[in-house]
Amino acid sequence: MVLSFRFAAADGVAPARRARALSFVMGGGVLAGIVGPQLVTHTMYLWPPHMFAATYLVQALVAAVSGWVLWGVRLPAPTPAEVAQGRPLAVIARQPLFITAVICGAVSYLLMNFLMTAAPLAMHLCGHPQESANLGLQWHVIAMYAPSFFTGRLISRFGAGRIVALGLLLTGTAAAVGLGGVDVAHFWLTLILLGLGWNFGFVGASALVLECHRPEERTRVQSLNDFIVFGTMAVGSFASGGLLAAYDWNMVLWVSFLPLALAVCALGYALLRQRRAA
């Protein structure tokens, strides 16, 4: 739900500033990257013998505070043009650019969650302490959101497609680093590169979605995009743990290259179409 705020922010500014508004909202995750893992570290043993039980209670408290803050947010009322129906959703969804945006966004989120979920478990299996996993996740989350303060400017300057390509490249590099060894440094570098790749890939793909619809179509199109992206992400969460248990960390990394190849092909095709059209 929180990530849907990015579209709300983009819809509240002029079209030329949408990419920056989208990425700036995502930058709020930097605070989560600092506070979240520390909350886990300092609360996971507070309710013995129920490890992490207190952590979930603290998480619920943080969510309640966030809800209280959002209570005062007021978004612009829809204009008469925005109330109109617009094109059928099936017509919009068949646009090559929309298909590319959805695939790249889904793969970026899928692989981030796929590898992030398995990494702490793999660190435990390799004999690394829980504190090392928590610290790795902290830097991972910071890497996910810190670039958001300038991702929008990069998109405005170089185009969303190129930023998505950079994100996919970083994600592939993260998997390659993970295959290089199982030291703590390998896991940490993998998680940091994975976070950077997610930011550029996901924010860039979200910016591509904004190019696929008219104002009156935004709610339906953005909802369809997020339904596919987050549904795919959930599949990755379940699959990574089972794959790690059945095989090993290296198998998880190798499997990640399959959806990555799909996204690269889809993006390459879309960029080629844009170049020919220009």
Q: Does residue 201 have a pLDDT over 90?
A: yes
pLDDT tens for residues 27-70? 777 777 678 778 888 898 888 888 889 999 998 998 898 888 87
CATH number of 2-277: 1.20.1250.20
Task: For residue 47, give the DSSP letter.
Answer: S
Predicted TM-score (pTM) of the model is 0.80
DSSP result, 213-262? --GGGHHHHHHHHHHHHHHHHHHHHHHHHHHHHHS-HHHHHHHHHHHHHH
Residue showing tokens 């500014």:
13
- Contact partners, residue 39, CB within 8 Å, separation at least 6: 55, 58, 59, 62
Q: What angle do CA 266, 267, 271 make, to 5 degrees?
A: 120
Distance set, CA 263 to CA 160, 226, 256 (Å) = 14, 17, 11
Q: Which residues, in sequence order, are CB contacts of 233 under 8 Å at separation 6+?
A: 106, 109, 110, 112, 113
How large is the average pLDDT for residues 149-153? 85
Q: Do 266 and 201 touch, CB atoms closer than 8 A?
A: no
Q: What are phi and psi of 18, to 5 degrees?
A: -65, -45
**Listed ranges 22-26, 83-87, 145-149; the one with the highest mean pLDDT:** 145-149
The share of the chain scoring above pLDDT 70, in percent, equals 92
**Could you tell me if 105 and 156 are in contact, meaning their C-beta atoms sit under 8 angstroms apart?**
no
Residue with the larger pLDDT of the pair 227 and 130:
227
State both tokens at 188. 């940490």
